[in-house]
Amino acid sequence: MTKPLILVSNDDGITSRGIRVLVNVMKNLGEVVVVAPDSPQSGMGHAITIGNTLRLDEEEIFDDVEAYKSSGTPADCVKLAKHYVFHDRKPDLIVSGINHGSNTSISVLYSGTMSAAIEGAIEGYPSIGFSLCDYSAKADFSHVEEYVYKIAKQVLEHGMPKGVALNVNFPPKRNEPLKGIKLCRQARAKWQEEFDERFDPNGRKYFWMAGNFVNFDKGEDNDEWAIANNYASVVPCQFDMTAYHAITQMNEEWDLDVE
């Protein structure tokens, strides 16, 4: 029986601890191929490389796993995997992560981790982005491995709706085990940025972005609530950003005839 073909990527770079954990879990589910950035790409969103060279080099970094590092973004990595690495083969699953840090709520738009998963969904492949809400380089992933396995296995067995990728976030490791998995919606929250004006040693002005994440959502069915209450959150995401309700409202209220 042929093993499922699983593409692993991320945005923290091919040498991150999170991707090593993800590769080791996926090896229990199928044949793993890694295509990941050669350096951190956090916050890149769905950027792609245009007008610059893209490099792709084979890397012997994982035991018994074909792996490549790319100079491109996470979305570039998925494109390169499809068109160059796999040739005529098609992955059964694309997974991205495990990210060092949260990708809940509005962060899904900025996330390089999720851009790899969304790119997979655009290409028609079942795709998942995994994130741990712990930014530490020494973050403990041990409590999430069985959940990563379970979620990925469910997707392999049951598939995904067309054009949908899963955004999975895990709480940091606490004194108690995770309570379980919650299917959620995206919380209504946002970053309130502040820009600190500074000067470099040559006296040239630059800015450093800071700020706070503010949750306006009081519901108990969203990803922020799930993480705060020690659940893994699973949010189905789509790349079609059309506001269909706005089309109806605008057709009713706007005068679009040109005289």
| Residues in binding site for a divalent metal cation | 11-12, 42, 99
Compute and round to an integer the Cα radius of gyration of the chain: 20
Longest CA–CA span in the chain (Å) reads 69
DSSP 3-state assignment of 258?
Answer: coil
Cβ neighbour number for residue 198 with a 10 Å cutoff: 10
Residues 6+ apart with CB under 8 A from 130: 18, 22, 95, 96, 97, 98, 99, 113, 144, 148, 168, 170
DSSP 3-state assignment of 18?
Answer: helix
Q: Omega before 98 cis (within 30°)? A: yes
User: What does the DSSP assignment read for 47-70?
Assistant: ----SS---EEE---STT-EEEEE
Residue set of the binding site? 11-12, 42, 99
Cβ neighbour number for residue 19 with a 10 Å cutoff: 29
Residues 6+ apart with CB under 8 A from 196: 207, 208, 209, 210
Phi, psi of 227 (to 5 degrees): -65, -45
CA–CA gap between residue 202 and residue 221 (Å, rounded): 51
DSSP 3-state assignment of 5?
Answer: strand
